[in-house]
Amino acid sequence: MNEFLEKEEEIVRMIKTVYDPEIPVNIYDLGLIYKIDLAEDGKLDIDMTLTAPNCPAVDFIVEDLRMKVGSVEGVTDVNVNIVFEPAWDKSMMSEEAQLELGFL
């Protein structure tokens, strides 16, 4: 179980290196990641949302996310689902992100 937790922590570390090119905060701290589900066979499902439904950077963000989390040892496949329920709002951001963006 410890090895599984370490792998999930590494996945989160990699997610924190993915940024929306228009916002200087990573997508994890922005609160855009709703679910991280790693199966025992290494298949990774991630549910995420966007700050706006018509985000022009969606393809860039999703591909960057796939590439980075796919590099984690033991991850064999990455499926990123874009969801809009619940709708994202700035209260989902970490305190650090809110501070960085001037909301605190």
Each domain of the chain, given as residue ranges in start order, spans 2-88
- Considering the entire predicted model, what is its pTM? 0.91
Residue 73: the pLDDT is: 93
Residue 40's SS3 state is: coil
Residue 4: the pLDDT is: 74
Residue 1: the pLDDT is: 59
Residue 53: the pLDDT is: 86
The architecture that CATH gives domain 2-88 is 2-Layer Sandwich (3.30)
User: Burial level of 65, CB count in 10 A (0-12/13-18/19+)?
Assistant: buried
- Alpha carbon of 103 to those of 18, 72, 95: distances in Å? 21, 33, 9
CA distance 9 to 11: 5
Residue 104: the pLDDT is: 79
Residue 3: the pLDDT is: 79
More reliable by pLDDT, 7 or 64: 64
